[in-house]
């Protein structure tokens, strides 16, 4: 601590070891927010000087700026899955006034009195 270190000095020749190197690499990831797929720890092992690390970290910011963000394929039509078809049909049957979902036949026999057809239709709300 407090010693002047040359930027061309090898990390390992000035007393660094593999565990300290891993800590340094992790610190780089935190500070410069890069993914290990972009710059791996093996790459930094092969470039052990402060100058080489600095150049690599500067290149990572350029790479990240040039990286292409993902875009949609603008596909708005496709084959529906069976689950999507079921949901669509269920929605059509439930919320459409033109489809009778449950048709149940009922026969009634009037034994006594009379029935007004208009009132009966109003009661069951067919038309």
Q: What is the mean pLDDT of residues 81-102?
A: 79
Q: Which own/partner pairs from 51-56 qualify as long-range (CB within 8 Å, at least 24 positions apart)? A: 51/7, 51/8, 53/28, 54/7
What single DSSP character describes residue 10?
B
Residue-wise pLDDT for 110-126, tens only, equals 888 888 888 888 887 76
Residue-wise pLDDT for 46-71, tens only, equals 888 989 988 888 877 656 645 555 66
Give the pLDDT score at 23: 92
How far, rounded to the nearest angstrom, does the alpha carbon of residue 36 sit from its chain's CA centroid?
Answer: 21
Is residue 112 within 8 Å of residue 105, measured between CB atoms? no
**Tokens 């603008």 belong to residue:** 74
pTM score of the predicted model: 0.45
- For 52-77, what is the HEC assignment? HHHHHHHHHHHHHHHCCCCCCCCCCC
User: Looking at the predicted structure, is the pLDDT value of residue 98 above 80?
Assistant: no
Q: Coil, helix or strand for 34?
A: coil
């Amino acid at each position: 601590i407090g010693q002047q270190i040359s930027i061309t000095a090898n990390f390992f020749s000035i007393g660094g070891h593999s565990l300290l190197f891993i800590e340094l690499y992790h610190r780089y990831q935190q500070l410069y927010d890069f993914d290990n797929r972009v710059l791996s720890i093996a790459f930094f092992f092969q470039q052990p000087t402060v100058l080489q690390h600095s150049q690599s970290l500067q290149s990572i910011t350029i790479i990240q700026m040039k990286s292409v963000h993902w875009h949609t394929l603008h596909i708005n039509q496709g084959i529906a899955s069976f689950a999507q078809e079921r949901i669509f049909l269920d929605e059509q049957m439930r919320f459409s006034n033109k489809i009778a979902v449950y048709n149940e036949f009922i026969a009634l026999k009037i034994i006594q009195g009379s029935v007004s057809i208009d009132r009966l239709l109003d009661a069951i709300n067919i038309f």
